[in-house]
Chains A and B, each alone.
Chain A
Amino acid sequence: MADEPNLEYFWPPREENVLIGKDIQRIDGIAKATGRAKYSSDINTPGTLFAKLLTSNQAAAKIKMLNIEPAKKVPGVRAVYVFPSAYDIATGESKEIRWDGAPIVAVAADRPEIAADGVRAIEIEYEPLPFFVDEEDLAGAEKAQEETGIERVKSLGDNTEGDVESALSEAAVVHKGYYGIHTISHCCLEPHGSHCEWDGNDKLEVHLSTQNVSGTPGQFAGPLGLEQTAVHVQGHYEGGGFGSKFAADEWDLACAEMAKTTGKPVRLMLDRATELKIAGTRPSGFIDVTIAADAEGNIIAWDSHHWGTSGMAGGTVTLGKIPYVFDFANRNRKATGLVCNTGPNRAWRAPPHPQLCALTMTAMDDLAAKLEMDSYDLFMKNLPNVSKGIDDRIDVYAEQMKIAAEMIDWKAKWHPHGKGGGEGAVKRGLGMALHTWGGGAGPCTCLLKVHPDGSVETFLGSQDLGTGTRTVIAIVMAETFGLTLDDVKVNLGSSRYPKSGASGGSITVGGVSSTHRMAAQKALRQIFNLVAAKYDVKADTLAAKGGQILSDGKPVCSWKQAAGLVGPMPLEVQGETTREGLTSATVGGVQMVEVSVNTETGVIRINDFVCVQDCGLIIDELTARSQVLGGMIMGISYALTEERIMDSHTGRYLNADLENYKLPRIGDIGNLRVKMYQPASEYNRGVVGLGEPPVISPGAAISNAVANATGVRVPVLPLTPQRVLDALQKGGAA
């Protein structure tokens, strides 16, 4: 850090930065906005075949009969691939189909419409098996298990701190509540999939829509019987991942296999329904909770049992993290997983914090109402109960709460739940929630080159999911060398470049920024030594600014002249993730929201939504704010409209299309405001990631605002008009 010059690598003093911390436009913005950016789904090498899938329309079944011969006979069909996870075509033995949408056959053809003909020609007959998909229904799962003997309920443990029973008996106020949050799908706009092309029989080129460029070649090589050197994975642009694109999937292997058998390139992207059904979901959680406080509002007891599903794995929201952000001296917790015939879960942005937050902070808010306390005061009062491990950030939370409250004018606008008055059916209310996330710097390496003409480039096997990774790297290099963004080039998205970790968990920016600061400082010191020798100045007086090398502020030579001193070949240096001095971990934030609820239609509108968020040293404030805004909008989505709806009669995913899987549109988000919390203490602790934290609080904050508006808790997210009206009717307020 700037004030600790004994460290080998450190950030510049904040006030000297030209680029770091400013609003910098992303360097790939033009490529994206002109449509020139090529995603894996855009790769059209000559002769490319198009693949489509036959997927299961059963939640649980065996395949009694599968005849792919009619598909092979369709003119223009070039390959028919049966997924080994579904059916052994050699022996005719069926595997167990365990959820709607499971892939069974892939067909590759000259054109997509012919591939669809091929899929339609396939004959298949199922033998249905018992299934269970009602993830909210714990009693139903127990009953189904009893009746069928099939495991539907898994104990995920319980544990206790203190003495809950005594605390409850001594408490001034005890609140019992039920809350829940449904499963959602990742719903990446670019579906999962790849374009595969062989060079002979032993070299495979893959364009993969992935968050894990460096980590996926082996996932192709192993199953395909290739050496890892034979597989080259590229992912220059990814149309969304959100935690669901870390692996080469079975359909990607199908793509590679069909490319091999046909000797032609094949593109296989999931169709929208399949993308929603099987390419990643976020587990659900439902909770019975008892929470109690003393007369002053200090929370003294928590007793909860939660359940939900992650699919056939039978998981739910992690037991050990509830209650969320806070922990209380007397606490029981217990979790039960439901084994449901639903598509498998994958990490969904900030796993599983959004659910933890929605299950915890709603109960706290209702306790505040019972105490007749302002919700803000209850959260503030209980900051001393922030969980161990993040309790060093209590003061930061307090500061952030004050700033957010001022932004939204909390104290003037807040009223007791349901007591806002106002004419007519539309009621307004305020809600808030707090969140935390670890983040930190993920593994990364790079090869940085300073060419003799002064141009600079770097190579790394990382990926830019749209978070601004390329831009952050360019800013760090340009700032360090005193150059402009046009002077530096970032090469990422190839598994042939130095390895870099998968992008997930808010660890990419810490990894790539520290790696490049290290590499650039190393290179610059070598160049300073060359300049010092050539121009007879002292190396430790030198600085690189504005395209020049300065000695104690006076120009010595241009950057190009300095770079020319490296000789006829480029200066190459390597960088790697550097945690000490450059990066940190653990962030917090607070969100406050004002909503309007129409008590006649059940429709909720977001009026004003503020987020105060810390993330250490900010490299690019423009893209940082975009991350926060994006998180808030995804949060509005799962808070208000977005959910997977399973049909208990057929076991199918009912709304696997974008008409019925409801994502917000541009008019649904209201006024959003972001305040990046960045006093000197944040700059000085170095870079921390930001992708996850802002998506955590919206569910609880919006639910709390609706409770404040109406005086009635709508217990389960998303807060669809139907659920709002049901709750109002039950609560007697309609």
Chain B
Amino acid sequence: MKDRQHAGGNTTVSRRAFLQGSGAAMAATAIATGANEAVAEAEKPSRLRSAGPQKVVLTVNGKQHTLMLEPRVTLLEALRNDLNLTGAKEVGNVSNDGADTVIIDGKPVFASTRLAIEVEGKNITTVEGLSEGKNVDEVITAFVKHDATQCGYCTPGFVVAVRAFLNKNPGANLEQIRKGLGGNICRCGTYAGVTDAAVELCKQGGA
């Protein structure tokens, strides 16, 4: 028995073939239903995409970037490997650790749980967007002041999570902070410092 250890065999090829096939079927239907509808259909952005590398436009920290990516590429991979924005970290294969936290249209999101093509047209803020030269977000200053970093690998994700949390909960109390920042794992044990930083910022109204 030949055993392909990881289930699914070479799924990419079969999925690509499948999607290309259904794309062709869609085009045929459009022609059949009349020219006007076909034009309208062509102008409406299609939700169907080929499985091959394709143009993906991402708006990151206010700048537009055009990339050639397969649809299966996650936002985290695109940020780290294509845009060299390596502040967001890959800790788990599918994130539940928060080291890859970014802000998408105001909400904190684990970047490895979104495909890059899914977030086209959305405003993505990474940790790199929270500083410019010596000008840094108050969250960053508070992290340094309260020593909320040790090895530092979880830190950028935690900084972004705190920024997103404060935007929504500028005057949060300790209990709210402890619940609201539960999405991020630190292995070195910087939670006390992160808590102190968040508490101080909340006292200042979420600066």
Contact = CB atoms under 8 A, between A and B. Distances in A.
B192 A240 contact: no
B2 A272 contact: no
Interface string B136-155: 10011001110111111111
Interface string A664-675: 111101001000
B96 A113 contact: no
A466 B150 contact: yes
A658 B91 CA distance: 9
B178 A667 contact: yes
Interface of A: 25-26, 28-39, 41-42, 44, 50, 54, 57, 65, 67, 70, 74, 111-113, 117, 119-126, 187-190, 237-242, 269, 271-273, 465-467, 622-623, 625-626, 629-634, 657-659, 663-667, 669, 672
17 contacts: A34-B156, A42-B80, A42-B86, A65-B2, A111-B77, A113-B77, A121-B4, A188-B151, A188-B153, A189-B154, A189-B185, A273-B93, A466-B188, A626-B147, A634-B188, A666-B181, A667-B182
Given A36-B131, A123-B4, 10 more contacts: A30-B136, A33-B152, A44-B84, A113-B12, A237-B152, A272-B92, A664-B191, A665-B191, A666-B186, A672-B192
Contact of A34 (B70, B128, B147): B128
A44 B191 contact: no
Interface string B79-116: 01100111111111100110100000000000000000
Contacts of B150: 465-467, 626, 630
Given A35-B127, A239-B152, A667-B178, A117 B10 contact: yes
A44 B193 contact: no
A125 B130 CA distance: 50
Given A239-B152, A466-B151, A663 B185 contact: yes
A268 to B, nearest CB: 13
Given A34-B136, A124-B5, A29 B149 contact: yes
Nearest to B97: A658
Given A25-B147, A35-B88, A271-B93, A240 B178 contact: no
Given A38-B86, A189-B97, A271-B93, A33 B156 contact: yes
Nearest to A48: B81
B21 interface: no
A658 B186 CA distance: 11
Given A36-B87, A111-B81, A630-B189, A239 B153 contact: yes
B4 A120 contact: yes
Contact of A666 (B97, B155, B159, B184): B184
Contacts of B183: 665
Contact of A189 (B73, B81, B187): B187
Chain B interface extent, by class? 35 or more
A116 B123 CA distance: 29
B18 to A, nearest CB: 16
B79 to A, nearest CB: 10
A620 B159 CA distance: 24
A667 B179 contact: yes
Given A35-B87, A658-B96, A666-B182, A113 B70 contact: yes
Contacts of B73: 111, 113
3 nearest CB pairs, A to B: A35-B87, A239-B153, A633-B189
A33 B143 contact: yes
A33 B153 CA distance: 9
Contacts of B148: 33
Contact of A41 (B4, B90, B126): B90
A629 B193 contact: yes
A273 B93 CA distance: 8
A657 B94 CA distance: 9
A696 to B, nearest CB: 14
Contacts of B192: 629, 633, 669, 672
B174 to A, nearest CB: 10
B44 to A, nearest CB: 29
Contacts of B152: 28, 31-33, 37, 237, 239, 466
Contacts of B88: 35
| Most chain A beta-carbon contacts within 10 A, residue among B90, B99, B126 | B90
Contacts of B191: 633, 664-666, 669
Nearest to B181: A666
A265 to B, nearest CB: 12
Contacts of B72: 113
A395 to B, nearest CB: 30
B142 to A, nearest CB: 9
A16 to B, nearest CB: 25
A25 B144 CA distance: 6
Contacts of A26: 144, 147, 149
Contacts of B62: none
B205 to A, nearest CB: 21
B3 interface: yes
Interface string B37-56: 00000000000000000000
A29 B86 CA distance: 16
A357 to B, nearest CB: 18
Contacts of A37: 152
Contacts of B131: 34, 36
A630 B154 CA distance: 14
Contacts of B188: 240, 466, 630, 634
B195 interface: yes
B151 A238 contact: yes
Nearest to B134: A30
A719 to B, nearest CB: 18
Interface in B24-74: 70, 72-73
A28 B155 CA distance: 12
A54 B185 contact: no
Contacts of A120: 4, 6, 8-11
A124 B81 contact: no
A238 B150 CA distance: 10
A652 to B, nearest CB: 13
A28 B177 CA distance: 26
Nearest to A240: B151
Given A112-B81, A120-B6, A239 B151 contact: yes
Contacts of B195: 666
A111 B77 CA distance: 9
